[in-house]
Amino acid sequence: MGVVVSLGDGKRGQASIAPLVELTRADMGRVNELILSKAGSDVEMIPEVANHLISSGGKRLRPMLTIAAAQIFGYRGDLHVKLAASVEFMHTATLLHDDVVDESDLRRGKRTARMIWGNQASVLVGDFLLGQAFRMMVEVGSLEALDILSAAATVIAEGEVMQLDVAKNLETTEDEYLQVIRAKTAALFSAACEVGPVIASDNRSDRAALRSYGTNLGLAFQLVDDALDYGGKAETLGKNVGDDFREGKVTLPVILSYRRGSDEDRAFWKRAIEGGENGDAELQHALGLITRTGAIGDTVARARHFGGIARDALAPMPKSRHKTALLEVIDFCIDRVN
Amino acid sequence: MGVVVSLGDGKRGQASIAPLVELTRADMGRVNELILSKAGSDVEMIPEVANHLISSGGKRLRPMLTIAAAQIFGYRGDLHVKLAASVEFMHTATLLHDDVVDESDLRRGKRTARMIWGNQASVLVGDFLLGQAFRMMVEVGSLEALDILSAAATVIAEGEVMQLDVAKNLETTEDEYLQVIRAKTAALFSAACEVGPVIASDNRSDRAALRSYGTNLGLAFQLVDDALDYGGKAETLGKNVGDDFREGKVTLPVILSYRRGSDEDRAFWKRAIEGGENGDAELQHALGLITRTGAIGDTVARARHFGGIARDALAPMPKSRHKTALLEVIDFCIDRVN
């Protein structure tokens, strides 16, 4: 447990989401109020379950991106608040269902809703939040935003199903894995960013720029998450090192380490991932193989690649505090491994 | 098993949905094509799981109602086809999640998807279908229809959560139970009917009429379903007699029988429903109590009450083949117990 692997180039100062938090603070206050109000229901168990996750200290990165992606074009209305809350509800619904699918017992350092209220409540409250997300989008009244977010909902579910196939399959290629995370993670980042210009700008290239920024930021974010699972600290990560390993999840560090390993190494991975023999001793051995094959460093290098694309997506935009903050988010996502 | 209880007044000839099927046949052909196409995905498991349920011989009553509720106002476009497919996808998604929540192993006489592909796939393919439902609604482009259907999605989930509370609670009142089925069943019937006039009529009273018809038809439908669980034939019902009982579900026949029973009877119900001791001997005893207390007959009487309201909702509409067919659906839903 708690193996810390330092992987950054150490040249930059630690990047932060503080500038994004600062710029979106006022609007996020309204987003948070809306979230609490829309998680309400006369059916007592619904706000209980929903608030357990909602108040569990997530960064609310996705709704902040929606707010910033509207503000950057000088948006003055209040539709972005509803869209941001919708995005967070879609995310929360996905987490509730994910925990059921993955049989997880810990999320952000707290017991998962399914451990407290059961799988039934997690499935149904997820459905409720998804319904509320759509209702808020409908209130916004933009068919374009509805199109983007409902398409994302479908793609996310497709990604999760793809992941079921990939989960225990060590022959998964890096390309196949990227397809999975493009769907299950990057699609929502992409939609969260794109709906900003949809309500705030008439310029179609602004939409394309924010969509590309979101997609690539999402890919980088997920890859770093995967790396952290083999080298982060539980207290910063909010999950235990080796959770993915114990669940037999095939992620990029495993894919790289498996492909680069000896026959003996591959036999180990098959026993551990496919056979489910993955206790603490196996985790230590896996961490050794992953370190030796440079799999974490290269997973982060892949993340930097996508981070670079996200950066260039915003490059043509005029200099602004919002642009600077969004660029720093890229570095923040990647620097988390340090 | 196979206890058949005859409860109708026997005065009418057996009502049928044949006239509704006939009037909607051509459009339902297009709905079915759309359903198959939108259940498609490059992710192989999705169409497999979706089609298992989609092709399992459901009556497609809800989408037929949507088609008829547009046709009755002389609708000539093709948006009703997309709305009908959306409604069926919402229903299918609910069934997939329900079977996980209820841990059911049989649905419409076939093994449930979760028994074949697991809970994970059922949760995620349900999410996928819900996403596709919203995408089709967005294509229709009516914010009013989107509002109605997304509100229904939320209400259905609320109803399912309420049902978790009610499930093993024999002190549930009839009113509380009605609130549950109003949410979990009637809301989708109501929305399915209301979106017809939303795209096909400018008259707000048409919307109100179809909404009221749908709500009350849905209530009658669910109550008769509950009655059938204690006195239908497995081959017509597509589920086994006593499924609700074995799962410890509190439905109206149980609520009535419990309230009307002796102390000894109530003790039996508590052991069976709350304690989970509900085998075949207990089922026979339960059927005896339910018959003796007149609980099935009165459950069906309640269904007739709502059927009457549904009938009056359409009363002011001019005579037409569609009106006649929709009225006959009410009788069909209720006559199923004969």
Quick: pLDDT tens for A169-214. Answer: 999 999 999 999 999 999 999 999 999 999 999 999 999 999 999 9
Q: Is B46 on the interface with A (CB under 8 A)?
A: yes
Q: What pLDDT, on a 0 to 100 scale, did the predictor assign at position B242?
A: 84
pLDDT of residue B243: 82
> Is residue B149's pLDDT more than 50?
yes
* Cβ contact, residue pair B127, A157, below 8 Å: yes
Q: Which chain A residues are within 8 Å of B164, Cβ to Cβ?
A: 45, 120-121, 124
Question: Nearest by CB to A141, which of B128, B143, B161?
Answer: B143
Provide the ipTM. 0.88
| Selected residue of A124, A135, A146, A155 to mutate for chain B interface (largest B Cβ count, 10 A) | A124
Distance from CA of B140 to the nearest CA of A (A): 10
DSSP conformational letter for A187: H
The listed range with the strongest mean pLDDT (A107-116, A231-240, B25-34) is B25-34
A240 — pLDDT class (breaks 50, 70, 90): low
Residues 6 or more apart whose Cβ sits within 8 Å of residue A193? A65, A66, A69, A210, A211, A213, A214, A217
For the stretch B68-83, pLDDT in tens is 999 999 999 999 999 9
CB contact under 8 Å between A161 and B121, yes or no, is yes
pLDDT at B127 over 80: yes
pLDDT of residue A215: 98
Per-chain mean pLDDT for chain A: 90
Does the reported pTM lie above 0.80? yes
Task: Indicate whether B43 pLDDT > 80.
Answer: yes
Q: Do A147 and B160 count as a contact with CB atoms less than 8 A apart? A: no
Cβ atoms B102, B123 nearer than 8 A: no
In this complex, the residue of B130, B138, B157 whose CB is nearest that of residue A146 is B138
Contacts of B43 in chain A (CB under 8 A): 158, 161-162, 165
The verdict on a CB contact (< 8 Å) between A143 and B138 is: yes
**pLDDT, tens digit, 9 for 90 and up, residues A11-70:** 456 899 999 999 999 999 999 999 999 999 999 999 998 888 888 778 899 999 999 999
Q: What percent of chain B has pLDDT over 70?
A: 93
List CB contacts (< 8 A) between B165 and chain A: 43-45
Q: What is the mean pLDDT of residues B134-146?
A: 97
| Residue carrying the six token digits 């659906």 | B329
Position A1 pLDDT exceeds 70: no
Cβ separation of A43 and B158 shorter than 8 Å? yes
| C-alpha–C-alpha distance, residues A136 and A78, integer Å | 12
Mean pLDDT for the stretch of residues B43-57: 87
Closest CA to B139 of A113, A261, A146: A146
Q: Out of A124, A157, A165, whose CB is closest to B128?
A: A157
Q: Pick from B124, B160, B165: which is nearest to A160 by CB?
A: B124
Interface test with B, best of A97, A127, A143, A148 (most B CBs within 10 A): A127
Rounded Cα–Cα distance for residues B322 and A198 (Å): 42
Residues B183, B155 contacting (CB under 8 angstroms): yes
Handedness of CA B43, B45, B47, B49 (dihedral sign): negative
pLDDT at B8 > cutoff 70: no
Neighbours of B305 (CB within 10 A): 13
For B291, the token pair is: 């018959």
Answer with the residue of higher pLDDT: A278 or B182: B182
Q: Is B300 on the interface with A (CB under 8 A)?
A: no
> In this predicted structure, what is the pLDDT of residue B232?
54
Using a CB–CB cutoff of 8 Å, tell me whether A162 touches chain B.
Answer: yes
> Do β-strands B110-111 and B106-107 pair in parallel, antiparallel, or remain unpaired?
antiparallel
Domains of chain A plus CATH, in order, are: 18-335 (1.10.600.10)
Whether the pLDDT of residue B100 is over 60: the answer is yes
Q: What three-state secondary structure class fits B73? A: coil
Confidence tier at A75 by pLDDT (50, 70, 90)? very high
d(CA B194, CA B149): 9
Residue B161: which of A119, A128, A165 has the nearest Cβ? A128
Q: Which residues of B touch A114 (CB under 8 A)?
A: none
Residue A106 bridge partners (DSSP)? A111
Q: How confident is the model at residue B239 (pLDDT cuts 50, 70, 90)?
A: low
Confidence check: pLDDT of A234 > 50: no
Q: How many CB pairs under 8 A join A and B?
A: 133
The region of weakest confidence among B8-22, B158-172, B252-266 is: B8-22
A45 to B132: CB separation less than 8 angstroms, yes or no: no
Nearest chain B residue to A163 by CA: give it. B43
